[in-house]
Structures are given as C-alpha cells and as structure tokens.
Structure 1
Amino acid sequence: MGEARRSEKKDQDPDIGILTARLLHGVQRTLFGRLADEGFDDLRPQHGAVLAYLDEDGSRAVDLSRRSGVHKQVVSKLLDELEQLGYVNREPDPRDRRAKLIVPTPRGLAQMERSDAIMGDLERDLRNVLDAERFDTFKADLLRCQAALGR
C-alpha cells in the first residue's frame, strides 16, 4: 500500500486554511440559505463583502473595500449588482460632495436587520455546540490569529 494522497491527508488532518474556508462556507450556506427563505433569494455570498460592513446611514465604497479586504474594483462591481437588485443607492456624500455614499434602501435595511439576527442565532447555536466559555475563547483566538496575519 502506498502513502496516502495529499487530498486524503488534507481530509484527515485539515490545515488552518481548509478549516477556516470550511467554516466560512458553512456560515455562508446558513446565512444565505435563511435569507433566501425569507425573500432575499437574489443575494450571493459575494455580496456579503459589502453588506456585512454597510452602515445604516451609509458608507463610502473605499471604506467598504478597506473593511472587507476586497479590492475596490470588486466592491464597485458588487455595488453595481446590489444597486440593480434594489439593496443600495449611491448618493452624494454630504461631507464631501465629490464622493459617493452607499446608502441602504428599505430592502437593504430589512436584509441587514435579518442578516444580523441570523448571525446572532448562528453564534448562539455555535455557543451551545462548544459551550459559552469555549466559544468566547474560540472567537477571541480567531481575532488574535487575524491580527497576527495582519488583517
């Protein structure tokens, strides 16, 4: 018998990249599945790069790009899609008329409210899986790892 293939090794002992990707995909499946069930079935996980960081009173695209870590050209494309879908509008920024402010529409605000509630439910569910103290430690450890990698 030969040595296990690389893919088999990764299945048996996944590295941190694989584990975090699986966690992200699981969170996205849960979040966007529930949002679809609630009438927001036109959203894709990629839209989360904008929607997760959007403030109720609006945000600048450059800030959405910086917070999400997604290139500004990708954010611009996502904003085009979200505007066409009726989740955001681009408006002049009252602090700088040369800049645009990305402002959620009533549909966008409703999605943001539901998304926050769903993520709260998901965190409560995971807190029950690990128990509260272990979950809080896990979340703090993820933040430390993120900081160590220069988020």
Structure 2
Amino acid sequence: MADETPGFELPLLLFAGFRTLIDQLHAELARQGHPDVRPAYGFALQAIGRGGATASELGRLLGVSKQAAGKTVDRLVALGYAVRADDPADARRKVIRLTPHGVDALARSAAIFEELRAQWATALGPGRLRALEADLRAVAPLAGVRLDVPGWFGG
C-alpha cells in the first residue's frame, strides 16, 4: 500500500517543528531576561558571532541588503546586544561586535535548545529522536545550513 500522505505536508511539518522550537526558545529567552530578541535577531547574532562582522558581511550572510542589515544592527545596538567598533585593519570600516548581553543571549539560546531537545527526546524517545536527526542529516546535511532565512523568506 502506497503512502497516502500528500507531499505538501512534509515541508509544513518540518516548518511547524522549526516554528515550535523557535517560539519556545523565544518564550524562554524572554523569561531569562531577553524579551526583545526576535528570530531575525537570533540569526543576526549568530552571523555576527564572536569574531564580529561588517554590515556588508552581515547582509551577505543573512541574504539581505546592506541597508536591511544596517537596520537590524541599529536595533541590536539600541537593545544593547551589539556595538559598532572601528575595524583595526581598516579605519574606514566599522565592525559589529556582540556585547556581553549579546553573548549571554547566544549562550542562553544554546542551553535552551539543549533543554528543548531533551523535551523532544522525552516525547519521542531518545532512539527515535536520534533516528530523526540522522534522517534529516542524510537529506539536509548541516554543512548546507545557511543563516539567510530572513532574506530567503523575504524573497
């Protein structure tokens, strides 16, 4: 008997799982002192990373224009998650760097994701979760993961 699940359900289920995790992450981040972090900011914080990035680099990593990246940076700076600093290699450039508040948000996000994964392991069983992760890696390798979700969704 052929599988009767329509093909369009697979991306919807994958997105629903993603959205569930992200929504739970942000609810917990808010409880832990980061109520202003939005999903797009999370991608930007990841792209900036510990090494910093210019607005152009950030735009490229996020798949958005330099101007759109600049607006995101403006908001991250206003919220205390990032600062603009002179680039030691080129005084004409500014590098966006995470503040301790930004680093804290990323560290808390990582810990919260561990908790959420543990909840999924409880709900599905550890073996089934490992199998799900292995199956997803087989069809969508982590090496192909890109941070340009905001730009990709924006078209």
TM-score scaled by length of structure 1 = 0.74
- Does structure 1 residue 48 correspond to structure 2 residue 46? no
Equivalent residue in structure 1 for 2:136, among 135, 138, 148? 138
Any unmatched runs of 5+ in structure 2? 1-5, 146-151
- Does structure 1 residue 110 correspond to structure 2 residue 104? yes
Aligned residue in 2 for 1:70: 64
Matched residue SS, 2:78: helix
Any unmatched runs of 5+ in structure 1? 1-11
Matched residue SS, 1:99: strand
Aligned residue in 1 for 2:78: 84
Report the RMSD for the aligned CA atoms in angstroms.
2.9
d(CA) in 1 for partners of 2:89, 2:121: 41
TM-score scaled by length of structure 2 = 0.72
Change (3 A) 1:110 1:139: same
Aligned length: 138
Amino acid of the structure 1 residue aligned with 2:132 = R
d(CA) in 2 for partners of 1:73, 1:112: 24
d(CA) in 1 for partners of 2:36, 2:81: 10
